[in-house]
Amino acid sequence: MNILVTGSRGQLGSEIHELSPKAGKHRFFFFDLPELDITDPAQVEKACAINSIQAIVNCAAYTAVDRAETDAEAAYRVNRDGAAVLAACAARINALLVHISTDYVFDGKASLPYRESDPVNPLGVYGKSKWEGEERIREIAPSHIIIRTSWLYSGYGANFVKTMLRLGRERDTLNVVFDQIGSPTSASDLAEAVLSILDRAETGKRYSMTFHYADEGVCSWYDFAVSIMEMAGLDCTVLPVDSTQYPQAAQRPHFSVMDKSAVKREWGLRIPHWSVSLARQIEKILKTTSSNS
Ligand SMILES: NC(=O)c1ccc[n+]([C@@H]2O[C@H](COP(=O)([O-])OP(=O)(O)OC[C@H]3O[C@@H](n4cnc5c(N)ncnc54)[C@H](OP(=O)(O)O)[C@@H]3O)[C@@H](O)[C@H]2O)c1
């Protein structure tokens, strides 16, 4: 398949780029701002037409969760309207649209892992804009696979792991919330999952599916931070605090664990435990940092 990857210089897009030479049976075309703005139908149509695109993987998003609260227009423009532009193009050219969404479509009031069919109730602008993007895709793109993920990190871009590694070197102690529970996900694992799905997707078949994908296991941001410090050998004490002691502009779900049975069953995926992937990614990040210094 000829595959267009949008938002290709973000965390997930970069990981797909890194893995793409191994996916030899596909030809990938990577685009990000400024050369391809997903909110611009003409740019999207042109990129698809000149590269005879058969599938689109949308990694582009407005991901600044707190900023979205005061910049709602920009968040909706990319996460809802941009998704609709890609869906309309996919519909016109008969392409499969693989779109990434988020655990923040849920309000976190559940006590069991969220299934794909559970009712959504996003708490903030980011989650709402991503949910509306999902809905546009379901309405417009005849063939789509929506994958909700959570707590993404990577050696590329800015994320919690890289922030902890920096602060762990700078500080003796650090406060991290313990009352938000979820599943950290290596963007590299998600990239592998996306490529496996593309490998197994049947050309010409119409998909209308939503899945949950996160790395296996569950923890709080506090547990995650403790593991990062231990794995990186950093002498920084992480102190547990609750969310009221760490106010942020956007409210986050307290529980955003997702049930991944469907994605494993449908596509035969084996998902690594978050701690195994974290160890591998920290080793990679530290190696890159030391070779750059
Ligand atoms: N990060 C997380 O913890 C997390 C958790 C759950 C779900 N997700 C979802 O997973 C997906 C991938 O996330 P990520 O962490 O890889 O995101 P990311 O690192 O923020 O990358 C997003 C990319 O999209 C680009 N972009 C923004 N607006 C665009 C536009 N109008 N047209 C084209 N490209 C545009 C960004 O460019 P600029 O940097 O120049 O803006 C960036 O390169 C997203 O759908 C996100 O909502 C992320």
Sign for the CA dihedral angle at 215, 217, 220, 222 comes to negative
pTM (two decimals): 0.97
Measured from CB, residues less than 6 Å from any atom of ligand 1 are: 6-7, 9-12, 32-33, 36-39, 59-63, 78, 82, 100, 102-103, 130, 149-152, 157, 187
Alpha-carbon distance of 130 to 148, in angstroms, equals 10
pLDDT of residue 72: 98
Cα 32 to middle of ligand 1, angstroms? 10
Residue 24 has pLDDT above 90, yes or no: no
Instruction: Kindly report, residue by residue over 183-238, the tens digit of the pLDDT.
Output: 999 999 999 999 999 999 998 899 999 999 999 999 999 999 999 999 999 999 99
Residue 124 has pLDDT above 90, yes or no: yes
Cα 22 to middle of ligand 1, angstroms? 23
Instruction: Kindly report, residue by residue over 36-73, the tens digit of the pLDDT.
Output: 999 999 999 999 999 999 999 999 999 999 999 999 99
Would 251 be classed as within a structural domain? no
Would 284 be classed as within a structural domain? no
Would 115 be classed as within a structural domain? yes
Would 63 be classed as within a structural domain? yes
Cα 261 to middle of ligand 1, angstroms? 25
Q: Which residues fall within 8 angstroms of residue 219, CB to CB, at 6 or more apart? A: 181, 182, 183, 184, 227, 274
Instruction: Kindly report, residue by residue over 224-235, the tens digit of the pLDDT.
Output: 999 999 999 999
Q: Which range of residues forms the domain containing residue 210?
A: 2-158+185-216+257-272
Would 153 be classed as within a structural domain? yes
The mean pLDDT value for 240-260 works out to: 95
Q: Domains in the chain: how many in total?
A: 1
Residue 292 has pLDDT above 80, yes or no: no
pLDDT of residue 291: 76
Residue 293 has pLDDT above 80, yes or no: no
Would 239 be classed as within a structural domain? no
Average pLDDT score over the chain: 97
Would 200 be classed as within a structural domain? yes
Catalytic residue positions?
Answer: 126
Would 129 be classed as within a structural domain? yes
CATH number for the domain that contains residue 147: 3.40.50.720
SS3 255: strand
Alpha-carbon distance of 26 to 22, in angstroms, equals 9
Question: Which of 18, 30, 32, 63 best tests ligand 1's pocket when mutated (most atoms within 8 Å of CB)?
Answer: 63
